[in-house]
Amino acid sequence: MATTKEKTEIRKLARKGLSINQIKEKLNLPKSTVYYHFKKEVGQKQKRNQLEIPDDPEFHGELCGIFAGDGNYFFEEKNYKYRITFTLNINEDYWQNLESFLEENLDKRPHVKREPNHSRVRLRYESKTLYEFFKKYLEWGEDKTETIMLRNLNNLSRAFKIGFVRGLVDTDGHKIKQFRGYKIGTISKNMMSQTSKILDELDIQNTLSREPDKRENCRDMYRLTIYGDNAEKLEAKIDPRHPKKQSK
């Protein structure tokens, strides 16, 4: 049990911005003790700063599609942080659109890390709430990119599915202007099969194909193609957010 002096010191250091682990090391106290008094001091502030996920199935679907395409998750055990990151091309306007879209809908601006030498930008949240949201709708194994798929596809609403396809097209899709077409490709066979079924439900004809990659240590790609009138129908129904995926 912490003494009155130790409790005061914990709260003082918490107000200065030190982490639980830093305070634990500095005061040589058990982590559980520091955690209890740390939360008393900063818990309400943290609660006010938590993001809010709106009750909007189409937004839920789009956010899941974006995460499935360009998102990643990491749990930092040392500091007990759930880190969600979206990695995007810094040379395309979409990342700025997405930054504004996330801030507007989650009521919290993502941390932005620009990496021009690698032509990428990372939008990051540290949020258990967001992690639990994704786990509600998606499942994935150790290799997220290859194994990610939707949970309970048949129980998802039409609005969710439209949003999901939009998010996936914006991240893993490609517009073929000269042929009036779209291609969506990932290495997750299950997710591409699910997306094909969603397009069928939306009365959008599509073709799912496997494209073997003969390069060493490279995995096969599963790709959906949508051409002609069906491509125009896709664009009209999902209304892509990415400027390069829209008609000019």
**pLDDT digits 0-9 by tens, 87-126:** 999 999 999 999 999 999 998 999 999 999 999 999 999 9
**Contacting residues for 196 by C-beta, under 8 A, at least 6 apart:** 206, 208, 224
What is the predicted pLDDT for the residue at 248? Answer: 61
Evaluate if residue 47 carries a pLDDT over 60.
no
Give the model's confidence band at 11: pLDDT under 50 very low, under 70 low, under 90 confident, else very high: confident
| Model confidence band, residue 195 (pLDDT cutoffs 50, 70, 90) | very high
Instruction: Work out whether the CA dihedral 130, 164, 235, 89 comes out positive or negative.
Output: positive
What is the pLDDT at residue 13?
Answer: 82
Q: What is the CATH number of domain 57-245?
A: 3.10.28.10
In degrees and rounded to multiples of 5, residue 216 shows phi and psi of: -65, 135
In three-state secondary structure terms, 203 is: coil
Determine how β-strand 81-89 pairs with β-strand 120-126. Answer: antiparallel
Whether the pLDDT of residue 147 is over 90: the answer is yes
Lowest-pLDDT range of 13-27, 60-74, 133-147: 13-27
User: How many residues are listed for the chain in this entry?
Assistant: 248
Q: What is the pLDDT of residue 107?
A: 87
Least confident of 165-169, 181-185, 209-213, 230-234: 209-213
Give the pLDDT score at 216: 67
Mean pLDDT of 48-73: 91
Tell me the whole-structure pTM to 2 decimals.
0.79
